[in-house]
Structure 1
Amino acid sequence: MSAAPTTQPEHAGSTADGAAEAPAAPTKLPVNWRVLIAAAAVIVGLSAWAIAAPAQADAVIGGVVGWVASQLGWFYILTATLVIVFVITVAASRGGTVRMGPDHARPQFNMFTWTAMLFAAGIGVDLMFFSVSEPVSQYLAPPTGDGQNLEAARQALVWTLFHYGITGWAMYALMGMAFGYFAYRFGMPLSIRSALYPLLGKRIHGVAGDAVDTAALLGTVFGVATSLGIGVVQLNYGLKSLFGVPENLAVQSALIAVGVGMAVVSCVSGVDKGIRRLSELNIVLAIGLMLYVLVAGRTAFLLDSIVMNIGDFVSRFPGMTLNTFAFEAPQEWMSAWTLFFWAWWIAWAPFVGLFLARISRGRTLRQFVVGTMTVPFAFILLWISIFGNSALDLVVSGNTAFGEVAMNTPERAFYSLLEQYPGATVAASIATFTGLLFYVTSADSGALVMSNFTSRIDDPNQDGPKWLRVFWAVSTGVLTLAMLLVGGVSTLQNATLIMGLPFSVVMYLIMVGLWRALRVEVSTAASGAVASRSAVAGRTGRDTHWRSRLSRLGSYPGPRAAQRYVDDVAVPALTTLAEEIRGTGVSVTVDRSPAEEHPAVDQTCLLVDLAPERDFVYRVYPVAFPTPGFGGFRTNPDSDQYFRLEVFTATGSLGYDVLGYTSEQLINDALDCYERHLEFIRLNHDHPGSTQIGLPTSELETAPAKEDNA
């Protein structure tokens, strides 16, 4: 699968009501020992068994894979299809307008930068491996029918695109949505268990949540190990073709040690920026390799093939996605290709999904799904079409020797293709360097994600301790070596197919939990909370003189005026309202404190405890904007900023300013919001407690998130 770059974007955190989070000071994060010990025991045990008794391990793993392919192949096929349907349904529904963050959040990265980072997530060393070997293999030995004919050639590319296509990216989109939605909108930990809160409630912090994280961790370890194993055997052959280095297990062990060592250095020395720059260089080199083959090869033929591949993929995809080969039953082919790829995508989904979520805070779920399922696949389609059709052209033209190499020793296929073009040595050198960097970034970022899964992290911007990253980097390397000792890449593929099974069950739970949460979001809109953001009546007041209204429109108050309003109007008004609400038998508090971004101005919050439902939050919070200088409206000449006192609820800013409201108007505005909140709870009366997602507001930080208001 694709190696997610080690980019760790800097952004404001978010709590249940869009809470601002200052840059986290270095703290000692607690380790989740139950997850760590359980996962480590499985990995160490399997590695020791494989090293001590490789023949027995190979036989047992092969037997289990045969059983999974014959008895549970339908489950993998159905799961992959349902994930596609689910993410597309979410994007097309009203829930697609919900943001991965509070309502007022906006994307940190512009569209160009964001799509470029999505593009980077679509490239990996395994793409170099399979883009040549799979089309040739499918042409020579298709799942059904005779090979080596026109239909087999067209179908070969479609199978490759199918295995590397939108199905896998739908799985990434699912996990990215789950991570981003629960972490950035409700301030929950950036972990798998958070997505299960609508199903399990606070039990996610116990054994049930640990079991989910363990399943995700095991899948991730084996998925990363498979990519590292593929990278090792391919790099070994690249070094052999360039420098005559022998192609054996000793060299592959040395390559694993080098990769793990570089990953460890990156983990403990904080050189993520350097690795990120190298990742960006890798993208440029990968595009250069693709253009090199396009120009040096049969350009017109390749461009024709790209267009034909698109048409074939679109027309054949619906039938392929649910094809279990019930009558033909090619179990060996299914386990080696489709089932393996679906298990591999599942294993990588938490890893890449986490990266995609971290670069997508502030985007709507619809934008996220569309971007994730189109941008990376567009590049993959071009890459596979150019390299795959070039390889097929050689085989169809009679180069049987190349065909045998690509099918029987796939790690040699990419280099063997480059040997057919002028300047092969330079191209092979670039390919080797590119593969090495993809290998290192996979090991580095994989160790980072796995350390997060085995730590108790509340802040989405924090990462696991360094020693834990080192542990997982070394453990993944040992596992890779153990599986290569047993039977090479095929054993890694078989192990991934087995380990992906438990997490595929978790994906169903994630879909149910996310759907329940989005149903609550839709009922929020139905209650009128979103539709009434303009709050025109409260803003002006029908008894307000029009001259006062015009004066307010041209006013740009500074911090003193904002603070004076908080002291004289906001706090007394909300205190009065709290006393009246308290008389209805519920717990109410009014708090005030300096705003985190602007300590000169206080924020004040009315909080109504409605447990087990979602608490009601009405917060008056100062937000600074650049003071305009047009006309005669600049009434604050001594400052380049003016302040609005915006209303924030549990899901972010409502987008309007209450500075200038009378006490009566502010009380009425808060009551309007409270009435809509109670209506929102009533709409969910069939599912008691479902409106509360994550920790109660009273247990979270409650300051609005920092956003770029420029």
Structure 2
Amino acid sequence: MKKTTSIFWISIGISLLFVTWGVAAPDHLMTVMTSAESFLLDRFGWFYQFSATFFLIFALCLAFSRFGNIKLGQPDDKPEFSTPTWFAMLFSAGMGIGLLFYGVSEPISHYASPPYGTSQSIESAKISLEHTYLHWGFHAWAIYAVVALALAYYKFRKNMPGLMSATLYPLIGNKAKGPIGHAVDIIAVFATVFGVAASLGLGASQINSGFHYLFGMPISFNIQLVIIAFTTILFIISAGTGVSKGIKYLSNTNMALAVILFVSFLFLGPTQYLLELFSTTFGSYLQNLPSMGLRFTPFDQESNQWIKDWTIFYWAWWISWTPFVGTFIARVSKGRTVREFIMAVLIVPTVVCSLWFAVFGGTGIYFDFVEGANVAAQSIETSLFFVYNHMPLGGMLSAVSVVLILTFFVTSADSATFVLGMQTTNGSLNPPFFVTLSWGVVLAAIASVLLASGGLAGMQAAIIVSALPLGIVLLFMSYALIKSFRQERSLSNQKVQQHKKSA
């Protein structure tokens, strides 16, 4: 196998052109990206909304269908990682930085500016958590599950390259190895790059906010640039050690620190209030899931804009992350059945993410609504640390949070460089260090360019633009997967019949 491919060099070349554009004309880059974002949201917002709901229904149908006992691997394959380590890897790669960045800030933002109803009220407090669960719950993990399932099935069951293009082989045959397949893989690479770069930018912003809270360090782009440079060195070192060493140990460290922070928040905060809040809002989320997942307000433009800014942005973000998270989940899920895989990936992360937001976001709402602290007036980057000001051991918890953000940053980035290495070396499970190093530098450069040109708005624009073509690819992937499952079941039934006749 060649150490590099044409896809690698084409993708790196386009990435460098984008970085050069951002450095030479950041305002122009921002103008073009936001114009494209506005166009896509206005004309294709429905596509993101319908697609997310489709993937959830599709995943559930697969799990409970006759295909549920198909193994992601050969009949005698066993899981490579223990279940606790598997879950740790899922969270570290799939949601890491976002859980801390948005843990307090998203529920508080919806509480202050709800999609409907009166702001900073009992009603908006409930609505805020229900919609946060929507954004981080079953829909998000269903998108990941479908892509990871397809990649794992074709890689470990059919011995095909772990590439997005390989999942389309049942539809386009050998064209998956030609220009069409290359185009699909390049689309997947850039969706991954923009999705992950946005998360790295968020992480750098919040680490800077943590240092500001702990040490009085000013919040500035230059400091965030230094943070990105420092963590880039760390995650490239980690990525060079492979999945079974650096990424595995960092994932377990992340999980331990996250549990410590979660338990501290739960028991140092208003425990009874938080548990009751979770119970009532999670029940409402389950009850209203279908209508929330398909909601538009065509007669109320302000509310409709809220849906575009939040819900549709999240669907685009999760779609853009699917090559990365899907490839990574597939890589660590060999030996599990379709039913076991889907139910685990759907249910456990959704419940844990919902608990996380109920505790963190609920604490922020409690201090604002009950205690009178003005949490709702804080910025997205600083709201978490503002809440610490009102909690026992706030300084210690802030320090733990900064360390956790840093380790999530490193784990997400080194997982991404590993996956980008796979995608650009014909699916190699051990991409050369030169390739992962190159992608590490590119990720850091694009995160810096997006921060410099437009901050969070620039990152959102990049995600929305990159997710549309990839979303179309994922729909074709779903059809190809069903076609393969049917063929496999047909062959299996023929073998059973032949066995019965010979007996």
Calculate the TM-score normalised by the size of structure 1. 0.68
Deviation at 1:236, TM superposition (A): 0.4
Select the residue among 100, 116, 122 that pairs with 1:128: 100
1:31-180 to structure 2, matched below 5 A, reads 31-33=4-6, 35-109=7-81, 111=83, 114-115=86-87, 117-118=89-90, 120-121=92-93, 123-180=95-152
2 CA distance for matches of 1:296 and 1:30?
Answer: 52
2 CA distance for matches of 1:399 and 1:62?
Answer: 37
User: Structure 1's 110 and 272: CA in aligned 2 closer, same or farther, altered over 3 A?
Assistant: closer
Deviation at 1:186, TM superposition (A): 1.0
Aligned to 1:472: 439
1:490-509 to structure 2, matched below 5 A, reads 490-509=457-476
| AA matched with 1:438 | F
Uncovered stretches (5+) of structure 1, i.e. residues with no partner? 1-27, 539-710
Contact preservation (8 Å) 2:93, 2:412 = no
- Alignment RMSD: 2.0
| AA matched with 2:443 | T
Contact preservation (8 Å) 2:188, 2:323 = yes
Query: Would you say how many aligned residue pairs link Structure 1 and Structure 2?
Result: 502
Residue 384 of structure 2 is aligned to residue 417 of structure 1: no
2 CA distance for matches of 1:245 and 1:374?
Answer: 40
Aligned to 2:491: 524
Aligned to 2:217: 245
Structure 1 residue matching 2:381: 3-state secondary structure: helix
Which has a greater percent of helix?
Answer: 2
| AA matched with 1:390 | T
Structure 1 residue matching 2:218: 3-state secondary structure: coil
2 CA distance for matches of 1:112 and 1:241?
Answer: 33
Select the residue among 465, 478, 485 that pairs with 1:511: 478
2 CA distance for matches of 1:268 and 1:367?
Answer: 31
User: Structure 1's 426 and 113: CA in aligned 2 closer, same or farther, altered over 3 A?
Assistant: closer
Deviations 1:143-196 (A, max 9, x none): 233322222111100111100111110011111111111111111011111110
Residue 259 of structure 2 is aligned to residue 287 of structure 1: yes
1:190-205 to structure 2, matched below 5 A, reads 190-205=162-177
Contact preservation (8 Å) 1:122, 1:376 = no
1 CA distance for matches of 2:372 and 2:355?
Answer: 24
Contact preservation (8 Å) 1:47, 1:483 = no
Aligned to 1:355: 328
Name the structure, 1 or 2, with higher relative contact order (CA <8 Å, separation 6+): 2
2 CA distance for matches of 1:282 and 1:180?
Answer: 25
1:366-377 to structure 2, matched below 5 A, reads 366-377=339-350
- The alignment-based identity, stated in percent, is 33
Structure 2 residue matching 1:323: 3-state secondary structure: coil
2 CA distance for matches of 1:90 and 1:464?
Answer: 32
2 CA distance for matches of 1:412 and 1:81?
Answer: 33
Contact preservation (8 Å) 2:80, 2:335 = yes
Contact preservation (8 Å) 1:65, 1:335 = no
| AA matched with 1:435 | I
Contact preservation (8 Å) 1:119, 1:379 = no
Select the residue among 344, 351, 369 that pairs with 1:378: 351
1:255-654 to structure 2, matched below 5 A, reads 255-268=227-240, 273-330=245-302, 331-397=304-370, 399=372, 401-405=374-378, 409-457=379-427, 462-527=429-494, 529-530=495-496
Structure 1 residue matching 2:103: 3-state secondary structure: helix
Structure 1 residue matching 2:104: 3-state secondary structure: helix
Deviation at 1:269, TM superposition (A): 5.5
2 CA distance for matches of 1:518 and 1:270?
Answer: 32
2 CA distance for matches of 1:390 and 1:474?
Answer: 38
1 CA distance for matches of 2:343 and 2:243?
Answer: 32
1 CA distance for matches of 2:242 and 2:143?
Answer: 30
Contact preservation (8 Å) 1:98, 1:521 = no
Contact preservation (8 Å) 2:53, 2:293 = yes
User: Structure 1's 531 and 382: CA in aligned 2 closer, same or farther, altered over 3 A?
Assistant: farther
1 CA distance for matches of 2:306 and 2:458?
Answer: 15
Residue 155 of structure 2 is aligned to residue 183 of structure 1: yes
| AA matched with 2:24 | A
